[in-house]
Amino acid sequence: MKLLLTGCTGFIGRELIPSLINEGHSLTVMSRQSKEKLKMIANDLNLRVIKMNPAEASAWNNQEVQNSLQSCEGVINLAGEPIAEKRWTTDHCKEITNSRIDTTNNLIKNLRNLRKPPKVLINASAIGFYGSHPQTEFNEDNIQGDDFLANVCKEWESGAKNKPRATRLLIVRIGIVLAKDGGALGKMLPIFRAGLGGPIGDGKQWMSWIHRTDLCNLINESVKNSAWSGVVNGVAPNPVRMNEFSNSLGQALGRPSLLAVPGPILKLILGDGARVVLEGQNVKPQSLKKLKFKFRFPTINDAFKAILA
């Protein structure tokens, strides 16, 4: 299938792009990254790259972009500035919002102008849609929360739902993605390997996570399987509390995990973004269970064993 990708050039894309190529798909990637860097990720000379910022409406007027839209059979839109890596200043909140909303709205506007729209659109969202709560268990039937991230996710998803009528839509609400070369775990590993790791905050908050390979397999399956539509939670079936996450990681590394990171210190570093880590969410993949998706790494110990092998 001819696929058009946006926002697939970072931590998730490093595995997703090669896996899509291995499945036999022909890829065109729209990115602010250089062609040389992306081809290093994919190691495939047939990868087509269009250097652009999809959040800018004028960038879509390029003839190469329009030609790619007209020929594509499916679209994967994962665009979005990382949420929990910087303080939530006014400017960064704008980046978090605009990188998602503007890109998605620009994409949908151009898809709706096509005489023959793509068969499928896979659009990212986040489990931040549900808001945070220490006890509530969330699934795809829950309504949205009422905080900054929940409102961003609502607008993000609403934009995607304006897709052409003939295009099948799957929205993936992604949890904490685990792999050793980036994301939350990538930042934790050096600290834990030094024996300085431990739970963040009181350790009782939930972590709803997914191994990056399972997320890529999920996306691969949704591209080709017409039964996949609506909303799915991109999380493993067994969320864990932060204490268990830290203890399991420490044991997998053969290191103690005793030194807790106090919440106020994390808030000092990340500002409001610390809420993502400190409050947590217990999210279950009810829709994936109905679709009979098989996780390669259903438990945190399975994930750490594979990642640290």
pLDDT digits (tens, 9 = 90+) for 85-131: 777 888 988 999 999 999 999 999 999 999 999 999 999 999 999 99
**Dihedral of alpha carbons 164, 170, 171, 177, sign:** negative
Q: Supply the pLDDT for residue 33.
A: 73
Rounded to two decimals, what is the model's pTM? 0.93
- In the structure, what pLDDT confidence band is assigned to residue 200 with cuts at 50, 70 and 90? confident
> Under a CB-based contact definition with an 8 Å cutoff, are residues 235 and 283 in contact?
yes
State residue 149's pLDDT score: 92
Cα dihedral angle (10, 14, 17, 21), rounded to 10 degrees? 170
pLDDT value for 46:
64
Q: What's the pLDDT band for 227 if we cut at 50, 70, 90?
A: very high
Asked whether 225 and 293 are in contact (CB, 8 A), the reply is no
pLDDT at 38: 63
- What confidence category does residue 188 fall into, taking pLDDT thresholds of 50, 70 and 90? confident
Q: pLDDT at position 92, please?
A: 87
User: What structural domains and CATH numbers belong to the chain?
Assistant: 2-179+208-239+283-297 (3.40.50.720)
